[in-house]
Amino acid sequence: MQVESIQAGQPRTLGNPASADPLDAAWTSAIWKEPVEGRVSAGAEGLTGDTQVYKKGHGGPERALLWYPLEHYQEWRAEWGQRDIGPGGFGENVTVSGLREQSVCVGDLFQVGELRVEVSGPREPCMNLVRRFRRPEAIERVVATDRSGWYVRVLNEGWLEKGLPITLLDRPYPQWTIDRAARVKRTRNPDEAALLASCPALLADWRAKLGARR
């Protein structure tokens, strides 16, 4: 398990304001990430040099960094035939290897260089992925394949660097893998929703929404 690449992004405005087609209409996003070479600092609010346009569901201490598995890109390239899809393409700050949604759990505590991070929950795909790849089915395919990525909280300020090993320090909630948590949120089973809502490490807004289903 290691850090394969690190990315940060600033807002870009693309598209045609006069277009009625959602794929061509004007939109502003920081989903376009650029590689960061060498050491870069990170803290509770995320990675230095990175920002988000839409704060709802992005950024902040609960979603300080987005992690995404390197292995997924080979699968996307095979499925979509887009050879240029690679690290940072899904808007992640940290591209990792050796971890997947089926093996990472809400509440997992990892050491990466100087940083300790805590997994807070799945990434929910949004319309920006559709626009980014010009694939109307992008959200549906991310959900169907469980290739979502996940968010982490940064528990202390420190630095990150490509090539750093990732060490699992603790796994207090092994029952709540990222893929299972995402499915519970989607399927709306009230009993499972209540169980997931009781996980103190879960994203606070998810806990509130799931708790309201009781």
Confidence of residue 77 (pLDDT cuts 50, 70, 90): very high
On whether residue 180 sits in a domain, the answer given is no
Q: Does 69 score more than 70 pLDDT? A: yes
DSSP assigned state of 105: B
**pLDDT confidence of residue 52:** 75
On whether residue 154 sits in a domain, the answer given is yes
The model carries a pTM of 0.92
Contact 147, 77 (CB under 8 A): no
Angle, in degrees to the nearest 10, between helices 190-197 and 178-187: 130
**pLDDT confidence of residue 166:** 98
CATH number at residue 131: 2.40.33.20
Beta bridge partners of 5: 95
Question: Would you tell me how many other CB atoms lie within 10 Å of the CB of residue 166?
Answer: 18
List, for residues 53-68, the tens digit of each pLDDT value. Answer: 666 667 789 999 999 9
**pLDDT confidence of residue 213:** 61
**pLDDT confidence of residue 54:** 67
Q: Does 18 score more than 80 pLDDT? A: no
Q: Is 9 exposed, middle or buried (0-12, 13-18, 19+ CB in 10 A)?
A: buried
On whether residue 190 sits in a domain, the answer given is no
Q: 70 in helix, strand or coil? A: coil
CB within 8 A of 107, min separation 6: which ones? 118, 119, 170, 171, 172, 173, 176, 199, 200, 201, 202
Q: Does 188 score more than 90 pLDDT? A: no
Domain count, the chain: 1
Q: Where are the beta strands (DSSP E) in the chain?
A: 2-8, 12-14, 27-29, 34-35, 40-43, 46-47, 65-69, 94-97, 109-112, 115-122, 150-154, 158-160, 166-170
Domain that holds residue 135: 2-173
**pLDDT confidence of residue 11:** 83
CB within 8 A of 191, min separation 6: which ones? none
Q: Does 71 score more than 90 pLDDT? A: yes
On whether residue 183 sits in a domain, the answer given is no
Q: Does 148 score more than 70 pLDDT? A: yes
Contact 6, 35 (CB under 8 A): yes
List, for residues 91-126, the tens digit of each pLDDT value. Answer: 999 999 999 999 999 999 999 999 999 999 999 998
On whether residue 130 sits in a domain, the answer given is yes
**pLDDT confidence of residue 150:** 98
Contact 93, 87 (CB under 8 A): no
Contact 194, 213 (CB under 8 A): yes
Q: Does 158 score more than 90 pLDDT? A: yes
On whether residue 42 sits in a domain, the answer given is yes
Contact 160, 39 (CB under 8 A): yes
On whether residue 20 sits in a domain, the answer given is yes
Q: Does 214 score more than 70 pLDDT? A: no
The residue that leads in pLDDT, 60 or 47, is: 47
Average pLDDT over residues 14-19: 73
Q: Is 198 exposed, middle or buried (0-12, 13-18, 19+ CB in 10 A)?
A: exposed
Confidence of residue 161 (pLDDT cuts 50, 70, 90): very high
Q: Does 3 score more than 70 pLDDT? A: yes
Mean pLDDT of the chain: 91
On whether residue 6 sits in a domain, the answer given is yes
